[in-house]
Structure 1
Amino acid sequence: MVPNVVTNLDNEQLVFALDIGTRTVIGIVGKYENEVFKILACEIEEHDKRNMYDGQIHDINGVVQIVKRVKERLEEKLNMELDKVAIAAAGRALRTERVRLDREIDSTREIDRKLVESLEMEAIQKAQQVLDESTNIESKYYCVGYTVVNYYLDNNFIENPEGHRGSKLGVDLLATFLPHIVVDSLYTVMSRVGLEVINMTLEPIAAINVAIKKNLRLLNLALIDIGAGTSDIAITKDGTIVAYAMASVAGDEITEAIAKTYLLDFDSAEKLKISLNKQQNHKFHDVVGIEHNLTTEEILNSIQENIKKLAKEISDSILKYNEKAPSAIFLIGGGGQIPRLSEYIAEYLELPKERVVVRSSDIIEKIDDIPEELNGPHAITPIGIGVTAVKDMYKDFLEVTVNGQKIKLFNSKDIKVSDALVLVGYNPRNLIPKRGEDFIYFVNEQKLRIRGEIGKPSEIYVNNQISNLEQKLKNGDIVQVKEATVGKKPNPRLFDCINMKEYITFNGEKVYLIKQVKVNGDVVSENIPIKEYDKIQVNKIKTVSEVFDALNINPDSYMIYKNEELIYKDEITAKEINDYKENTKSAENNSLTKTIRLNINGEDKVIEHNEDKFLFIKIFDYLDFDLSKPKGMLYLKVNGAKAEYTQVLKDGDKIEIYWKKDRKFS
């Protein structure tokens, strides 16, 4: 037993842990020495009214009074003032949403990590929106963890989209949330009783920390904390907690069944329920004064269906989030002691009975001086809160500033910049640079375009140092994000649209091929600005006769040969006699110096370009084909075979590009 007064203690060495439950408030003060947690004092007090529902504070003042009394009694036992506390948020407040999100992307650019992460952020925000709509509560949520289930590129599953190209990127994501109100109300209570929160965790995490050793978490295990209003479930696998779940039924369901069966008030029914696993015979009077003298078996038989219903709902919740029966199940909490419950859970999950067991505080390792009132499954969570605080003090909850806004982050994993941006509602699309609008113009009736510029990527700073979305955050970090920009729309001049320097050499003399240029019907010779949709007409030297005219020489002075055969000067083009032609391709000049002949969707097309190799992806620069508005599955073929974006095209290739409608677009 704990002595009434403990003296000669250093406040800095103590840990004050509070478990604020639906039915009771449990306070524990302990000290960590030589890797052993020694309990120095504890207090348990029941709520005198319904201050809490399902683990959430509803009457702050009512909870303040209970916590204040627990704190004062502990201070009296310890003969010292308590000013710091460790607390836990109820696992039952967690919500999980699974969403699928698809985004149209620039098919000419490789997918990088920033694009993937921004898509994940947007999916988390969509999950939060779904959660808000389903709860109809105007409350913000912390995202305390998420898992990517699958990625999709152009509607096809892909393991890792980085480095690929496509027109649509998708993600299937499972996100878990904790309401702000849960954290804020707990902090309000602590502040009103003069306590500083030094550590905050989740109740399921605190319970697992002492009920299931870390080296066992490689196994697929389920921990079920059966309280008064709900049953919280935490599932472990591969060394970590992989899911949280909740069954909306718990111990009160059995209490109500007893009350209705035997005409008892709620408090009397609760006492009878608690005594079912302590004694065999029960004598009591109902509300009309009739005396009952029953055995435990008789009472259990009368409420058997209610216990089975509780077991089934808990089992269904486990299967929903684990997709199969776990290897073993541990029951904690006051409701975990309900007779027959463990047997029925094992039956529903088709597990051996010995695989579903009730965990009591006596199984906790490296704990000394556990008082009698803390013997039992109900004490695992408050002891776990204290032990967790010792090991992770100041680690589970941190505060950072994002673009001037201070936020609290629940540190249930390595918190990154992306997590902070999700919490403040930052639009992830602002992280990705956008290409400016294309510039459209016409040359000799052929529609051409100059691609818009790519904007400047976003810049992320942590504590004034350039960083990224993957940067892990510490308490007090300052995050600043500069949005990505939209690229400029091209503003070309005439010589950016046509190659005025194209020439041949004839007997060592340059002959420029362009004879005349008209813009919208007017002859021009200067490098004038071009407006979008302007029509440019280019008249070029085509025959040898025109070459002679340009050089002002007598054509009769020359004999023209091709492949050592004499031919007439008008039977050959100027390009066929070219013995040198300068390649004027440059990044600043979108000159068109080469041609390729293709059959595209049954229509013969001649495309002028300036590429060393004409790749399939370049077709979209010369086609009026809108990739931004999908109309089904996109099919791309070259000579009847599936096309690759980087495939090199040749003269005469037959190209097919079309949408094939599916159910989504039908």
Structure 2
Amino acid sequence: MGDVVFSLDIGTRNVVGIVAKMEDDKYKVIDYEIMEHPERAMYDGQIHDIEKVSLVVDKVKTRLEERLSLKLQYVSIAAAGRALKTQKVFVQKEIDFTKEIDKAVIDSLEIEGIQLAQKKLEEVSNDEDTRYYCVGYTVMNYYLDGSVIGNLKGHRGREIGAEILATFLPHVVVDSLYTVVHKCGLEVVNMTLEPIAAINIAIPPKFRLLNLALVDIGAGTSDIAITKDGTIVSYAMVSTAGDEITECLSKTFLLDFDTAEKLKIQLNQKDEHTFCDIVGISYNLKTDEIVEKIEEAIRDLSKEISDKILEYNGKAPSAVFCIGGGSQIPKLTEYLAQDLGLPKERVVIKGTEVFENVEFLKDSLCGPEYITPIGIGYTAVKDKEQDFLQVTVNGKSIRLFNSKELCISDALILIGYNARKLIPERGKSVTFYINGVKRTIYGEYGEAAKIYINDKLGNLDTKLKNMDRIVINPATPGKDAKVKIKDIIEGEEVILNGQNINLIKDIFVNGKEVDEDYEILDGDEVVIEKIDNISELMNICNIDLDKSEVFINDKLANKDEKLKKGMVINTKLKAVESEEKGEASKTILRDDKDYITVTVNGEKVDIKKEKKDIIFVDIFNYIDFDIKVPKGILVLKLNGKKASYTDVLKDGDVVEIYWN
């Protein structure tokens, strides 16, 4: 019979097996078999008794083989949408407020959120062996410094956050489905999710860029899938569905469950209904009369579905497609449109009879309840990719459930890769106070993580193929900030009588005097004392203001004038005192013991202590060295080291002064 496709929809109430083939771009259904479970072996789409379910599947397979005279070896299956687990989390992280938020930072935040959601699910399951595959997620809201923001990219802040809704498929669901079909001598060639199978057959690709909701209303649950930008972004499940309407009919008219179920199914098929209750009372009612009695239950079902759609989508979608047997309940789509604020024509029931690309070679499977069974086989034909992708991450082999277009970030989520290793951390900063003003020197930025796929540079969005090799080189931290006193003080000098005088007198850190090579530590309090005015400068330079006049930029200055960087200052002896001074200023008589002796260019010089400290510049009052006419670069040394004019001299110091 050529290349046939055998697909199985293993549902809670029954098993549907379909044999079809793709021909002339049409999916042609050759034969099908539907069989109910004789006993309760499945709950909410999950297999609980593998042996009982296997028996039914094997009967469906055998009947098809006998009628078609062929051996079925390969099968396509789907995991129930209601088996999906959804977890909402809030994740936040501190960031460098000096740097713009880029996509790498946002991706890292989202990965952390998905991993947090997975961790919470695993904690709830109380089973260390339970593993989950993330099959989709959506970001409900982003946050910047505690406030909701539409898009984080390009902003700056200290803390970012995201409210994430992630959906997972338990590995046990996959394993149990595989076990059942293996027991029946079948090999799985394709596996998908029921909502994906339904969308593939019910919603053409050209419509999937729209924000749509697909609602599969079954017996026990109503499963919801929401599409946007060409993919399914979130899944949800409401634990009420068709059975609630059946139970309402049963209680209202005193019917057993089977009779109520048959009545419910006929409500959209006939205008009048005749039935008897359990005490023998006969009823002959119109559909409208029956619906009126159960209207509240229908409204409740609509409200629960609508609320869930709004919760997971954040707003009403553009349209809603209803499938599953429960979607045929009268007035349900009308109420859904009202609850979502949509025009009634935008909430529709999708049945197999409207498909142009599906053809039945025997009696048609009509109705919305057969969308998913047909979609499973159709997806297998259209999607030739493997149901799982096998890839390696840093040498570790993993399997990814191929339910959507997978990328490197999906692999990192599955292995629990620490997303913080993707973003380079800045080195430690140094915060200190300089003359009471807070200042921070930031550490350097590190290098971002490098992601390779098959030895070529990639990124988190790089798409995956089977047997890809991924290697992650984690981000490296930046260097810590290191700063010395000399790195933070600006050279503030004035020119006095042709000599450069540094205005910085003393440097203290946490109350202790230090030099310019001191390395500042976090929390240090630095105090820098400077020569403040003319009077202080003249005193330090041992110039008697009573005997001298001071000029700043050739203008006479007073002793209280504040000093500024770059000032040109000159002093001039008053006329009378100048005549008296003569050469005597070069010689200090040692008429008492209050003096120090230093060696200047190899010669001893005695200097009388007329003030608390004698500084380097005082030397020029006791030696014959003309600095007014430069003869190169002036070199000043004290005890063999570079000196400044304000260095304090002590007895026995060795001084060198020369032109270089």
TM-score by length of 1: 0.70
Question: Could you report, residue by residue, the CA deviation over 1:614-658 in whole angstroms, capped at 9, with x for unpaired residues?
Answer: xxxxxxxxxxxxxxxxxxxxxxxxxxxxxxxxxxxxxxxxxxxxx
Instruction: State the match for 2:451 in structure 1.
Output: 460
What residue identity is the alignment partner of 1:55?
Answer: G
Name the SS for the 1:372 alignment partner: coil
Instruction: State the match for 1:224 in structure 2.
Output: 215
Please say if 1:107 is aligned against 2:97: yes
Quote the Cα distance in structure 1 between the aligned partners of 2:435 and 2:315: 67
Structure 2's unaligned 5+ residue stretches are 570-660
1:53 aligned to which of 38, 43, 46? 43
What residue identity is the alignment partner of 1:65?
Answer: L
Name the SS for the 2:411 alignment partner: helix
Answer with 1 or 2: which has the greater Rg.
2
Quote the Cα distance in structure 2 between the aligned partners of 1:299 and 1:508: 111
Please say if 1:363 is aligned against 2:374: no
Q: How far is the alpha carbon of 1:544 from its aligned partner?
A: 7.3
1:16 aligned to which of 6, 19, 23? 6
Instruction: State the match for 1:181 in structure 2.
Output: 172
Q: How far is the alpha carbon of 1:137 from its aligned partner?
A: 7.5
Quote the Cα distance in structure 2 between the aligned partners of 1:521 and 1:559: 37
What residue identity is the alignment partner of 1:53?
Answer: Y
Quote the Cα distance in structure 1 between the aligned partners of 2:286 and 2:115: 51
Quote the Cα distance in structure 2 between the aligned partners of 1:71 and 1:224: 29
Instruction: State the match for 1:335 in structure 2.
Output: 326
Question: Could you report, residue by residue, the CA deviation over 1:288-337 in whole angstroms, capped at 9, with x for unpaired residues?
Answer: 8x586766758767756545544444444445445666666544323334
Q: How far is the alpha carbon of 1:113 from its aligned partner?
A: 2.0
Cα 1:443–1:229, aligned 2, differ >3 Å: closer, same or farther? closer
Q: How far is the alpha carbon of 1:426 from its aligned partner?
A: 2.8
Quote the Cα distance in structure 2 between the aligned partners of 1:459 and 1:254: 56
Query: For the Cα contact (< 8 Å) 1:541–1:574, is it kept in 2?
Result: no
Cα 1:291–1:31, aligned 2, differ >3 Å: closer, same or farther? same
The more displaced of 487-496 and 512-521 is 512-521
Q: How far is the alpha carbon of 1:397 from its aligned partner?
A: 4.3
Instruction: State the match for 2:551 in structure 1.
Output: 561
Instruction: State the match for 1:478 in structure 2.
Output: 469
Report matched runs for 1:190-209 at 5 Å: 190-209=181-200
TM-score by length of 2: 0.71
Name the SS for the 1:390 alignment partner: helix
Instruction: State the match for 2:57 in structure 1.
Output: 67
Q: How far is the alpha carbon of 1:281 from its aligned partner?
A: 8.3
Q: How far is the alpha carbon of 1:119 from its aligned partner?
A: 1.8
The more displaced of 129-138 and 398-407 is 129-138
Q: How far is the alpha carbon of 1:230 from its aligned partner?
A: 1.1
Q: How far is the alpha carbon of 1:536 from its aligned partner?
A: 6.7
Report matched runs for 1:570-589 at 5 Å: 573=563, 575-578=565-568
Instruction: State the match for 1:433 in structure 2.
Output: 424
Quote the Cα distance in structure 2 between the aligned partners of 1:185 and 1:33: 33
Report matched runs for 1:25-36 at 5 Å: 25-36=15-26
Question: Could you report, residue by residue, the CA deviation over 1:210-267 in whole angstroms, capped at 9, with x for unpaired residues?
Answer: 2233445566654432222112233456766555333312233344455556776655
Quote the Cα distance in structure 2 between the aligned partners of 1:160 and 1:238: 17
Q: How far is the alpha carbon of 1:123 from its aligned partner?
A: 3.0
Question: Could you report, residue by residue, the CA deviation over 1:160-205 in whole angstroms, capped at 9, with x for unpaired residues?
Answer: 3333322222334443333333333323434444544333222122
Name the SS for the 2:109 alignment partner: helix
Quote the Cα distance in structure 2 between the aligned partners of 1:517 and 1:317: 67
Question: Could you report, residue by residue, the CA deviation over 1:558-582 in whole angstroms, capped at 9, with x for unpaired residues?
Answer: 9753243234688574844359xxx
What residue identity is the alignment partner of 1:206?
Answer: A
Report matched runs for 1:503-652 at 5 Å: 527=517, 560-567=550-557, 573=563, 575-578=565-568
Quote the Cα distance in structure 1 between the aligned partners of 2:317 and 2:530: 78
Cα 1:564–1:102, aligned 2, differ >3 Å: closer, same or farther? same
Quote the Cα distance in structure 2 between the aligned partners of 1:450 and 1:357: 63
Cα 1:336–1:529, aligned 2, differ >3 Å: closer, same or farther? closer
Cα 1:135–1:303, aligned 2, differ >3 Å: closer, same or farther? farther
1:423 aligned to which of 414, 418, 425? 414
How many positions carry a matched residue from both structures? Answer: 567
Name the SS for the 2:224 alignment partner: strand
Please say if 1:170 is aligned against 2:161: yes
Quote the Cα distance in structure 1 between the aligned partners of 2:521 and 2:59: 79
Instruction: State the match for 1:161 in structure 2.
Output: 152
What residue identity is the alignment partner of 1:430?
Answer: K
Q: How far is the alpha carbon of 1:19 from its aligned partner?
A: 1.0
Please say if 1:38 is aligned against 2:28: yes
Cα 1:161–1:307, aligned 2, differ >3 Å: closer, same or farther? closer
Query: For the Cα contact (< 8 Å) 2:134–2:167, is it kept in 1?
Result: yes
RMSD of aligned residue pairs (Cα, Å) = 4.5
Report matched runs for 1:226-245 at 5 Å: 226-235=217-226, 241=232, 243-245=234-236
Query: For the Cα contact (< 8 Å) 1:198–1:394, is it kept in 2?
Result: no
Instruction: State the match for 1:639 in structure 2.
Output: none
Please say if 1:388 is aligned against 2:365: no
Quote the Cα distance in structure 1 between the aligned partners of 2:419 and 2:487: 35
Quote the Cα distance in structure 1 between the aligned partners of 2:335 and 2:226: 19
Instruction: State the match for 2:237 in structure 1.
Output: 246
Quote the Cα distance in structure 1 between the aligned partners of 2:101 and 2:557: 55
Quote the Cα distance in structure 1 between the aligned partners of 2:229 and 2:550: 82
Query: For the Cα contact (< 8 Å) 2:392–2:470, is it kept in 1?
Result: yes
Name the SS for the 1:374 alignment partner: coil
Query: For the Cα contact (< 8 Å) 1:259–1:266, is it kept in 2?
Result: yes
Instruction: State the match for 1:213 in structure 2.
Output: 204
Instruction: State the match for 2:393 in structure 1.
Output: 402
Cα 1:296–1:69, aligned 2, differ >3 Å: closer, same or farther? farther
Query: For the Cα contact (< 8 Å) 1:283–1:291, is it kept in 2?
Result: no
Q: How far is the alpha carbon of 1:131 from its aligned partner?
A: 5.5
What residue identity is the alignment partner of 2:359?
Answer: D
The more displaced of 558-567 and 84-93 is 558-567
What residue identity is the alignment partner of 2:57?
Answer: V
Q: How far is the alpha carbon of 1:361 from its aligned partner?
A: 2.1
The more displaced of 410-419 and 512-521 is 512-521
What residue identity is the alignment partner of 1:48?
Answer: P
Question: Could you report, residue by residue, the CA deviation over 1:74-116 in whole angstroms, capped at 9, with x for unpaired residues?
Answer: 3444444434322222222334455444433222222222112
Q: How far is the alpha carbon of 1:51 from its aligned partner?
A: 1.7
Quote the Cα distance in structure 2 between the aligned partners of 1:429 and 1:97: 22
